[in-house]
Amino acid sequence: MRIEHNGQWTDVPKECLSVFAFGVDEVSLSGDDAGLGIAIIGKPTERDESLKVTIFKHSDEVSCFQVVRCPNVDDPPGEIRECSRDLQ
């Protein structure tokens, strides 16, 4: 995958998208002159919950993270805390 931002093309590392072995349900884009953010959400066939990956482009650098659950023993019952796991 390649990202075009302000007329400049940047390749997205394959590690950023390797978690998606299925169709994508939702794509959200946000950006300004300084950078671009992409959120990709989908549901793998072997799992019952959605998977979310965020990709950020700032200058010539691309970073990507998978949003995962990270429960904490101090959390109240029913609260679901999310953390970002670096995919690179």
Output the pLDDT for position 45.
67
Residue 23: the pLDDT is 67
CA–CA separation, 12 vs 25, rounded Å? 19
| Pair 82, 65: CB distance under 8 Å | no
| Residue 63 confidence (pLDDT) | 93
Contact 62, 13 (CB under 8 A): yes
Listed by start position, the domains of the chain span 2-86
- The per-residue pLDDT for 20 is 66
Alpha-carbon distances, residue 20 vs 2, 40, 41, 44 (angstroms)? 16, 9, 9, 7
Averages of pLDDT over runs of 10 residues in the chain (88 residues) are: 86 82 78 88 74 86 88 82 87
Output the pLDDT for position 22. Answer: 62
Q: Which alpha helices (DSSP H) does 1-88 contain, by range?
A: 14-17
